Amino acid sequence: MRCRADIILCRDCLVHLSFANIIRALGQFRMSGARFLLVTTFREWEGNRDCEDGDWRALNMEKAPFDWPAPHALINERCEEGGGGWRDKSLGLWRLEDVR
């Protein structure tokens, strides 16, 4: 028997994956049957860059190569690390059908 979830929480995960593996993860999320995705995003971040799996970088899911629409909701985590440089770290809520 397969259990279905309404939402997937993916906090502090995609920021450690290469673009190729983010695309793979999103495919798995879609296959789960969940309707929503709550994921870490940095809305003030201007440019996304690829990385090797295991490294870290900030990602703005509304910028290329993702270009997701604005999230339905945003929870600012009020991150104080990096001397306030990550103050925009948030959890964004998207419908999985809206992210490609």
Amino acid residing at 53: D
Q: Give the span between the Cα atoms of 63 and 66, in whole angstroms.
A: 6
Q: Are strands 7-10 and 73-76 parallel, antiparallel or unpaired?
A: unpaired
- pTM, to two decimals: 0.91
Could you tell me the sign of the dihedral formed by the alpha carbons of 38, 43, 49, 54, in that order? negative
Predicted confidence (pLDDT) at residue 16 exceeds the cutoff of 70: yes
Question: Which tokens go with 45?
Answer: 């971040």
* Cβ contacts of 11 within 8 Å, gap of 6 or more: 38, 39, 40, 91
Residue ranges per domain, the chain? 7-98
pLDDT in the model for residue 46: 93
Predicted confidence (pLDDT) at residue 65 exceeds the cutoff of 70: yes
